[in-house]
A and B are shown apart, each in its own frame.
Chain A
Amino acid sequence: MKRRVSPTLLIGGALVIIVVATALISVVWTPSDPAHVEVPSRFKPPGTAGYLLGTDQLGRDEFSRIMAGARNTLLVGIVTVVIAMGVGVPLGGVAALRRGVLEDVTMRISDVLLAFPAVLLALMFAAVFNPSTITAMSAIGIALVPVFARVVRGAGLQILQQDYVTVTHTYGASGVWIFIRHLLPNVSPVLIVQATVAFAIAILAEAALSYLGLGTPPPTPSWGRMLSESQTLLDQAPWLAFWPGASIALAVLGFNLLGDGLRELLDPKLIERLPAQG
């Protein structure tokens, strides 16, 4: 099988690996303790000895906080996508398998969810429960359910029309069997791509929520909140806006590119034939 590994895939993959590696490394090591407050060392610019990226308004090492923030970012991405897929994929599968009333109901529920921006949902959750990483993740996860439901239903409908599925009906295969054995494996390339895109959306959404104060509360480092806090300090310490902003941008870019690259890689999964003319 000829595969095309494009620059998009490589760059996206590299960025994603950097984010993941940073998050993992930060669990065991950071240059300094991200929570260590040292007020006399506040607002040190980047390049100061011992503070590669400078310090923030409480004297905490920016580099360590960025690294720890990666953890938060990844956590949010993973949990959100797991929630979204965990609900969205079966929903889409049911809609594709059982056409008719059930399908209409599931897709309308999905439409309703689609109408709610993640931020609005997060606001609602925050009003009921206290704002936290968990409320943010749930809100974003639920908001992303329709994306997966649609993708699975769309691809599923096409797959279910194939003769190999019709044949399974003739020997009495159940909907569950078809879903697990035929639908999921054939939908997985599309799902993988969708998951990477959802990851990017989730990161951005969490950053927005934290920026608004609806996401991860202090003292856990969160790129979004760090960005928000840096707003009032722009003339004193502009680098405090730059580092978290750039991290968010690069992470989102990385996942998006990874998604695009995977799509190119996985989509034409048939053998590249010589042009089928004559």
Chain B
Amino acid sequence: MESVLRVENLTVSVGRVEVVHHIGFTLGARQRTGLIGESGSGKTLTALAIMGLLNEGLSATGQVIYRGTNLLELTDGEMCGLRGDRLAMIFQEPMTALNPVMKIGDQVAEPLTLHRGLRGKAAHAAALDALARVHLPDPLEKMRQYPHQLSGGQRQRAMIAMATACSPELLIADEPTTALDVTVQAQILDLLVELVEQEGSSLLLITHDLPVVATVCERVLVLYGGHIVEEGDVDEVFSRPRHPYTRALLDAIPPLDEELPDRKLKAIAGSVPGLGEFPPGCPFRNRCPRADDVCVVMPPLADGVACWHPLA
């Protein structure tokens, strides 16, 4: 399969502290990949590094290869040319991601103006088209409204319209449905799948919610403490997890179809350390029931799992 993005040896640092450690993965065309991580895992920083949106004080090294070019070596100007056009990202909080004092129509038209040179009526028509594609009800009316006049789900659709207006090759969605009601979440996930199929883009879905990845994605990467600890086909990883952290995440989800004895879930001790506060070696070792001395050295990612004592 043709690859859209190839990440190799990506390291993100905050000042001099490394928080994402030499990770690598490939995103294929028409492929939906889930990136699972909790707070402190480095999942959002990874996405921002790919998009060239890291804040002051943060830096990324390594290779992020898109169409033969290492994105990390491009200037901000060159990245601006790609962002919104070939590479797009949507965020968790539509209220803060949309400009509160700009009409919806103008915002959706912005990438079209910047990258396709459309103006006036042409831009308006293209924006309307983008909003229709995300099934926003009454798109003509909504274009004249401001973000606060739309519901959460509608704002998310508007943001997706903005991101997909130029038919990007890569769409990164960072917790796109976490702030939404469950019924709206289902609709938005459907929409993402539909758009990705239609446009043939590659989707990188970042979330902490495993069932969401299970229903939307084909491949999954599990991130903990800035390392990829497991990766593979979604069905495989979720039915036969090999890394203790993946197992722990799965155990933490109460099943919908049965009752557990004593109403107890299998929990792991401890809390997730803050960015940069993970122990050296395997980041999971101070919470892992299978850890021992050998784990002070970080196990390499081999055959889809990075663990000295994998399950199965």
Contacts and interface: CB of A to CB of B under 8 A. Distances in A.
A48 interface: no
Contacts of A277: 44-45, 48, 55
A275 B39 contact: no
Interface in A224-278: 273-278
A267 to B, nearest CB: 20
A273 B273 CA distance: 12
A274 B14 contact: yes
Nearest to B275: A274
Contacts of A274: 14, 17, 19, 274-276
Contacts of B55: 275, 277
B241 interface: no
With most chain B CB atoms within 10 A of its CB, the pick from A274, A275, A276, A278 is: A278
Contact of A278 (B17, B43, B57, B276): B43
Interface string B28-67: 0000000001011111111110000001011000000000
Nearest to A278: B44
Q: Is the interface of A mostly helix, strand, loop or mixed?
A: loop
A128 to B, nearest CB: 51
Contacts of A276: 39
A276 B39 CA distance: 8
B274 A278 contact: no
Interface residues of A, number: 6
Interface in B251-281: 274-276
Interface in B142-195: none
A275 B14 contact: yes
B41 A278 contact: yes
Contacts of A278: 37, 39-48, 206, 275
Contacts of A275: 14, 55, 57-58, 275
B38 to A, nearest CB: 9
A273 B19 CA distance: 13
Nearest to A273: B274
Contacts of B37: 278
Contacts of B42: 278
A86 to B, nearest CB: 40
Nearest to B40: A278
Contacts of B43: 278
Contacts of B274: 273-274
Nearest to B44: A278
Nearest to B58: A275
A278 B49 CA distance: 12
B180 to A, nearest CB: 19
B295 to A, nearest CB: 24
B253 to A, nearest CB: 21
Nearest to B14: A274
Interface string A106-124: 0000000000000000000
B65 to A, nearest CB: 22
A271 to B, nearest CB: 9
Nearest to B43: A278
B228 to A, nearest CB: 14
Contacts of B44: 277-278
A277 B17 CA distance: 15
Interface of B: 14, 17, 19, 37, 39-48, 55, 57-58, 206, 274-276
Given A274-B17, A278-B39, A278-B275, 4 more contacts: A273-B274, A275-B55, A275-B58, A277-B44
19 contacts: A273-B274, A274-B14, A274-B17, A274-B19, A274-B274, A274-B275, A275-B14, A275-B55, A275-B57, A275-B58, A277-B44, A277-B48, A277-B55, A278-B42, A278-B43, A278-B44, A278-B48, A278-B206, A278-B275
Q: Which 9 A-B pairs have the closest CB atoms?
A: A278-B44, A278-B43, A277-B44, A274-B275, A278-B45, A274-B14, A278-B42, A277-B45, A274-B276
